[in-house]
Amino acid sequence: MDLPIVTPISGHEQILYTIKTKNLSYKLSTASYHQRTWGAKQTAKYILKNVNCEAKPGEITAIAGSSGAGKTTLLEILAGVIVPSRVIGPVTVNDHPLNVTHFRTVSGYVTQDDVLFPLLTVKETLTYTARLRLQGGNDVAATRVSKLLKELGLDHVAGVRIGCESCRGISGGEKRRVSIGVNLVHDPAVVLIDEPTSGLDSTSALHVMLLLKSMAKNQGKTILLSIHQPGYRIIDLFDKVILLSNGICRHDGSLHCLEDRLKSTGHCIPHGVNVLEFAIDVSDSLHVEESNIESGESDHDANHVSNSSVFANAEEKYLSYANSLFKEVLILTQRFFYNIFRTKQLFAARTVQALVAGILLGTIFKNAYNNSNRANVQSQIGFFAFSLTFLLSSTTEALPIFLQERKILIRETSRGAYRISSYVMANTIVFLPFLLLVALLYTTPVYWLVGLRRDINGYLYFSLVAWMVVLMSNSFVGCFCALVPNFISGMSLIAGVMGAFFLFSGYFIPKEETPKCWIFMHYLSLFKYPFESFLINEFGGEKGRGKCVEGFQGVCLLHGDEFLRKLGIEESQKWNNLTIMLIFILGYRVLCFLILWYRSYRSPS
């Protein structure tokens, strides 16, 4: 078979990597894979047991086995997704213990599910990745992308959006190839792919496999892939097969050797079934070799020694990113902007919802201000409280989008594509104007319709507080989103904490009556500070002071300043509250950064 010509992009000398495991085991406690049952004894289940294997540069090593055999788990360990501290037995790279952080940057790992931005086109997806991962600016990125599009046979869909369940885009097979492309952009020396041919027709599957073979042969890349239904033409391209069955390695060697072993154990390979398919079916009957590392190792020994020294040098180098922080922020801001702008449900829903809510609430609370001098305070306070509920809870709509993006973010940052701080900054830059627009769409009609203080400063302050509120809420949701495992737990947690914030804000239970053990919630409440700010804006200052307030807790005809004093609110807090809100916004963003940092570098699985 003719292999496509693949040349290295950067022209630099590729470092060659040999990956080995020795008696590698990985176990999970029953509690991790079964639902916890009261009284049930907790035991451990081995997902992988004493696996010895080796993947060499210039070769395609296939991990084969039936469903559930442990292929993905082995790949995740080798890719540094499952960190070595959770594994028994060493994983070495060029005879050195696996340095996860470094190894993730020199390898590409394509997972079984294609996690891509649905609203970007194929070309945009590859271009943003290339701009983030390659040095040399847009021209280098564009050249790399057009080459990859050609090599992966994606030229004809370059301008088509990836798509998702609700928005039709490219086919499943094309998505698979885009996922492979995304992980090949930076020309990694080691490529690990979970089921590269799943979803592909036989021609496309062969095309992708030929490309991988060519990369191994011409560039000395180490290629490891998992497969469970290999075709005839594809298995010919494998240099080596690791056969797994129930987490045990039954074979690590060439296909030829595997065929000999099958025959020597009395198996007869049926006509029309290839040797690997058959071996997967009968893998349980193959005895485990003492050492499943194939002979011929000595041929590579010299290679290993020289590779080891090159690797050691590479390890010493400080981990560097392709772009400066500023450039990363620029690229990520652009990508994030397109994603938000094209997410019609989010963009349109947020803006229309804010405007409609502003107009409706404005008409509903129109009587909150009876006449020029008397405020129906119960009604006004109700309006402020409701406004805050609306503004704070409306940001949870972004939760599924955040969660989807988190997967991509962790994949990219854990493999050294860019800094997490750049992502947090880019996210903030896009949300600042977008949420300002949302806040203004709400406050402009509602402020004047309800008849709050009729002066421009009052309106501007009210809008500023509303903007801070949506920013706080956005940062809060982003932070929880970084933390929670899924949408349902995210929603429940956010709803629960928001409820507690509302309860202890001072609106339902005065601060003095709040139980001591809950007083911290009063100060942490996202409602408390904007709520007080709204009240100060309305009843404080020269204009508020002259205002009569009636109908609050049975007290009639208080002046604005007396009223605030009665509630224990200092007018001087007007700007301090804004500072506190700013601290909340920054605090949640820093917390979000730390959680994402932990997830990306310490525990990407």
Ligand X SMILES: Nc1ncnc2c1ncn2[C@@H]1O[C@H](COP(=O)(O)OP(=O)(O)OP(=O)(O)O)[C@@H](O)[C@H]1O
Nearer to ligand X, 67 or 166 (CB): 67
CB of 116 to ligand X, least distance (A): 19
- Count of residues for the chain? 605
For the bound state, the minimum distance from the C-beta of residue 263 to ligand X, rounded and expressed in Å, comes to: 26
Nearest approach in angstroms of CB 26 to ligand X is 8
Minimum CB distance to ligand X, residue 35 (Å): 11
- Read off the tokens for 283: 């893998």
Is 526 within 8 Å of 584 (Cβ atoms)?
yes
Shortest spacing between CB 47 and ligand X, in angstroms: 4
Q: How far is the CB of 181 from ligand X (least distance, A)?
A: 22
**Shortest distance, position 499 Cβ to ligand X, whole Å:** 32
Q: Shortest Cβ distance from residue 242 to ligand X (Å)?
A: 11
| Closer to ligand X by Cβ: residue 247 or 362 | 247
421-426: Cβ within 8 A, 24+ apart? 421/325, 421/593, 422/325, 422/328, 422/329, 422/332, 423/332, 423/596, 424/589, 424/592, 424/593, 424/596, 425/329, 425/332, 426/328, 426/329, 426/332, 426/333, 426/335, 426/336
Q: Any idea what DSSP says for residue 294?
A: P
> 71 or 102: whose CB is closer to ligand X?
71
| CB closer to ligand X out of 228 and 261 | 228
* Closest CB to ligand X among residues 111, 443: 111
- The tokens for 174 are 């094309």
Helix (H) or strand (E) holding 19: strand 19-29
Give min distance, CB of 28 to ligand X, in A. 6
Distances (CA, A) of 603 to 72, 89, 341, 403, 596: 16, 19, 31, 16, 10
Cα(390)–Cα(466) distance, integer angstroms: 10
Chain positions 487 to 546 lying near ligand X, rule: CB under 6 A, are none
- Site string (216-255) toward ligand X, x via CB under 6 A: ------------x---------------------------
Q: Which of 100, 106, 81, 102 is nearest to 26 (CA)?
A: 81
Instruction: Give least dist CB 246 to ligand X, A.
Output: 9
Q: How far is the CB of 113 from ligand X (least distance, A)?
A: 10
- Sequence-distant (6+) residues with CB within 8 A of 90 are 21, 22, 24, 84, 97, 98
Supply 256's token pair: 């030829």
Q: What DSSP designation does 570 have?
A: -
Helix, strand, or coil (residue 282): coil
Please state, in angstroms and rounded to a whole number, the distance separating the CA atoms of residues 462 and 319.
Answer: 47
**What is the closest distance, in whole angstroms, from the C-beta atom of residue 597 to ligand X in the complex?**
22
Interface residues for ligand X in 22-81 (CB under 6 A)?
Answer: 28, 32-33, 47, 65, 67-73
Query: Closest separation between CB of residue 32 and ligand X, Å?
Result: 5
| C-alpha closest to that of 50 among 66, 70, 65, 30 | 70
Specify the residue, 73 or 129, whose C-beta has the smaller distance to ligand X: 73
* 3-state class percentages of the chain: helix first, strand second, coil last, to nearest 5: 60, 10, 30
Specify the residue, 68 or 136, whose C-beta has the smaller distance to ligand X: 68
CB 246 within 8 A of CB 27: no
Q: Which is nearest to 136 in space by CA: 78, 185, 205, 74? A: 185
CA dist 197 and 112 (Å) reads: 10
Number of residues this chain uses to bind ligand X (CB under 6 A)? 13
In order, the DSSP letters of 525-591 are -TTHHHHHHHHHHHHSHHHHHT-EEE-BTTB--EEHHHHHHHTT--TTHHHHHHHHHHHHHHHHHHH
Nearer to ligand X by Cβ, of 71 and 250: the residue is: 71
Q: Which of 506, 396, 390 is nearest to 443 (CA)?
A: 390
Q: Contact between 111 and ligand X (CB under 6 A)?
A: no
- The continuous run of DSSP H or E covering 150 comes out as helix 137-151
Question: In terms of CB distance, is 187 or 277 closer to ligand X?
Answer: 277
- Which DSSP category does 558 fall into? E
Nearer to ligand X, 72 or 222 (CB): 72
Rounded to the nearest angstrom, the gap between the alpha carbon of residue 224 and the centroid of all alpha carbons in its chain is: 24
In the complex with ligand X, the residue whose CB is nearer, 193 or 332, is 193
Pick 46 or 597: Cβ nearer ligand X: 46
Give the nearer residue to ligand X in terms of CB position, either 68 or 458: 68
Rounded Cα–Cα distance for residues 86 and 110 (Å): 21
End-to-end Cα distance, the chain: 38
DSSP annotation of 246: T
Interacting residues with ligand X (CB under 6 A): 28, 32-33, 47, 65, 67-73, 228
